[in-house]
Amino acid sequence: MTPIEVTTVIALLRHVARAEIMPRFKHLAREDVRDKSGPLDPVTVADEAAERVLTQGLKRLFPDDEVIGEEAVSRGEASLECLRGPGRVWVLDPIDGTANFAAELPLFGVIAALVEDDEVQAGFIFDPVSDDCAYALKGQGAYLRAQDGSERRLRVCGPVPVGQMVGSMSWRYMQEPMRSHVLHRLNRLAAVTDYRCAAHQYRMLAAGHVHVQMFRKLLPWDHAAGVLLHAEAGGYGARFDGAPYRPSDTQGGLLLAPDKLSWQALYNALFN
């Protein structure tokens, strides 16, 4: 992507946040929130409106690209199969952290990733509350762009022993016996958190505020942009089996750490 295209995408994310998301924050009626797959998977009218406007905007900017969003996939109107094929695909999470948004907690984000041939080429994680955007381009680094246009480079924190690691460990979707096995080993880390928002967890990780993250479920709108952001900030990530992450992967788990040696130490502490 060119610098002008990056600026244009960030401007679109900002427009969607200001026009469709923030006016509804703390103003949702009961009927504006409903469950999708279950009580831990809510969707709001803000999610749907933001995805609709963001999809339309990206189609205008990049008419030859495919655009798929979380809500469209959940309604059966789009499929993840296009991620494996040729051509460019934008993958959207209109509001990541919907449970926080619905609970009036200011911890949610807008995620957009550009995928080509099942590899992430660009990732954007916009914070509607602070009005800034973390983004990364493959091979070009990771950055945080403020509302005034100023930027700073993002870097992961340095390696530390497992006993000093802090990070987000999401075990909700783990099956037994892995679930119990890992839960009994989380005390080997210094601290474990879960903000119910991959957008901010990836931003914290890429900015060096935490050391590690673990996820079990790998839907691309949650992870494609964040994995690239972390990698371009100098971090190392891989699936539980050691294979590299691909956006079409929806299972297999994911570990992210400051470097490969830290990843291996973390894996050994949690799984071996």
Whole-number pLDDT of residue 171:
84
160 confidence band (pLDDT: 50, 70, 90): very high
CB 167 within 8 A of CB 212: yes
Mean of per-residue pLDDT scores for the chain: 95
CB 117 within 8 A of CB 6: no
Which of 265, 254, 256 has its CA nearest to residue 230?
256
The stretch 166-191 carries a mean pLDDT of 91
Instruction: Quick: pLDDT tens for 226-256.
Output: 999 999 999 999 999 999 999 998 888 999 9
Give domain limits for the chain.
Answer: 3-153, 162-271
Q: What angle do CA 256, 260, 264 make, to 5 degrees?
A: 80
Give pTM, 2 decimals.
0.95
Does the fold of domain 162-271 match that of domain 3-153?
Answer: no
Tell the CATH topology of 162-271.
Answer: D-Maltodextrin-Binding Protein; domain 2 (3.40.190)
CATH superfamily of this structure's domain 3-153: Fructose-1,6-Bisphosphatase, subunit A, domain 1 (3.30.540.10)
The stretch 171-190 carries a mean pLDDT of 91
Whole-number pLDDT of residue 175:
86
Which of 113, 116, 157, 119 has its CA nearest to residue 135?
113
Strands, DSSP E only, in 108-206? 109-116, 119-127, 132-137, 141-145, 151-153, 166-169, 191-193
Strands, DSSP E only, in the chain? 33-35, 42-44, 66-69, 88-96, 109-116, 119-127, 132-137, 141-145, 151-153, 166-169, 191-193, 212-215, 236-239, 254-257
